[in-house]
């Protein structure tokens, strides 16, 4: 599967309707982005069960701002609509492959329980 161009119009549906989504926030003028691009594209062809989307931060400035992007490239990973990874910087291919494996292996019931526990703690702190 090739990478998908993500925009303000389609990013939410891509994240919520697919199990695992990796998002690469990039720009044409960014050297590290151009270095990471082929690694991201190759992974998209090797993992047909995962959606790999790219956000051009120049064309989608409002989307990048709403996502809190302050440095590019920034890589985000979503699983079952939940943000499970976010980090600026280009990753070497072996590290990216390892990350893909880790996201696939996540126990999402444990992740949801952890989120619920954290939210309950926030509610108690506000009371």
Q: Is the pLDDT of residue 2 over 90?
A: no
Least confident of 5-14, 101-110, 115-124: 115-124
The set of residues, in sequence order, having a beta carbon less than 8 Å from that of 16 and lying 6+ positions away, is 81
Of these residues, 15, 21, 33, 75, which one is catalytic? 33
Q: Give me the catalytic one of 11, 21, 30, 76.
A: 30
101 φ, ψ to 5°? -60, -40
At 120, list the tokens: 């309950």
Contacts of 127 (CB under 8 A, 6+ apart): none
Alpha-carbon distances of 2 from 32, 46, 49, rounded to whole Å: 20, 10, 12
The CA distance from 35 to 27, in Å, is 11
**pLDDT tens digit string along 28-62?**
999 999 999 999 999 999 999 999 999 999 999 99
What sign results for the dihedral spanned by CA atoms 112, 11, 99, 86?
A: negative
Query: Are residues 7 and 60 in contact, defined by beta-carbon separation less than 8 angstroms?
Result: yes
- What structural domains and CATH numbers belong to the chain? 4-123 (3.40.30.10)
Rg of the chain in Å (alpha carbons): 15
Taking only the tens place, the pLDDT of each residue in 12-31 is: 999 999 999 999 999 999 99
Asked about 33 being catalytic, the answer comes back as yes
């Amino acid at each position: 599967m090739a990478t998908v161009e993500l925009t303000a119009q389609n990013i939410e549906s891509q994240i919520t309707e697919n199990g695992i989504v990796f998002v690469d926030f990039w720009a044409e003028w960014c050297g590290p982005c151009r270095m990471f691009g082929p690694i991201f594209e190759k992974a998209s062809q090797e993992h047909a069960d995962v959606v790999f989307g790219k956000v051009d931060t120049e064309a989608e400035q409002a989307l990048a701002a709403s996502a809190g992007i302050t440095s590019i490239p920034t890589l985000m990973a979503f699983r079952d609509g939940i943000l499970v990874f976010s980090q600026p910087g280009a990753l070497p291919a072996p590290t990216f492959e390892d990350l893909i494996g880790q996201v696939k292996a996540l126990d999402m019931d444990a992740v949801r329980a952890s989120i619920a526990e954290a939210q309950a703690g926030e509610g108690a702190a506000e009371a």
